[in-house]
């Protein structure tokens, strides 16, 4: 082994500054990713909220249509007509 490889590594001010800049860059990148993720979550939340409103509107419309079909079926039924057997 060489003498240089066996010497303990000394941290210099320049090395500390480089490490500090690297850590700052990593923190900034994490902050950017967090901001992007937060914005994405907010956008997705808005979309889901709008979809639930649309689903509620469609459920209400479906119930109205079901009521209309039921009313039409009962209006067209003649009182003297015999219902079909249960196995139909």
- Each of the 88 residues of the chain gets a pLDDT tens digit; together they read 555 555 555 556 778 899 999 999 999 999 999 999 999 999 999 999 999 999 999 999 999 999 999 998 888 766 666 777 788 6
Q: With a threshold of 0.75, does the pTM exceed it? A: no
**Structure tokens given for 51:** 């979809």
**How are the residues of the chain apportioned to helix, strand and coil, as percentages rounded to the nearest 5?**
75, 0, 25
Q: What is the pLDDT of residue 80?
A: 60
Residue 45: CB atoms within 10 A of its CB come to 10
Q: What is the pLDDT of residue 59?
A: 98
Q: What is the pLDDT of residue 2?
A: 56
List, as one string, the DSSP characters of 19-61.
HHHHHHHHHHHHHHHHHHHHHHHHHHHHHHHHHHHHHHHHHHH
């Amino acid at each position: 082994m060489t003498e240089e490889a066996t010497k303990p590594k000394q941290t210099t001010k320049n090395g500390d500054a480089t490490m500090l800049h690297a850590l700052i860059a990593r923190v900034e990148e994490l902050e950017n990713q967090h901001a992007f993720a937060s914005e994405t979550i907010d956008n997705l939340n808005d979309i889901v909220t709008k979809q639930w409103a649309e689903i509620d509107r469609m459920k209400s419309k479906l119930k109205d249509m079901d009521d209309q079909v039921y009313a039409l079926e009962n209006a067209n039924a003649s009182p003297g007509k015999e219902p079909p057997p249960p196995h139909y």
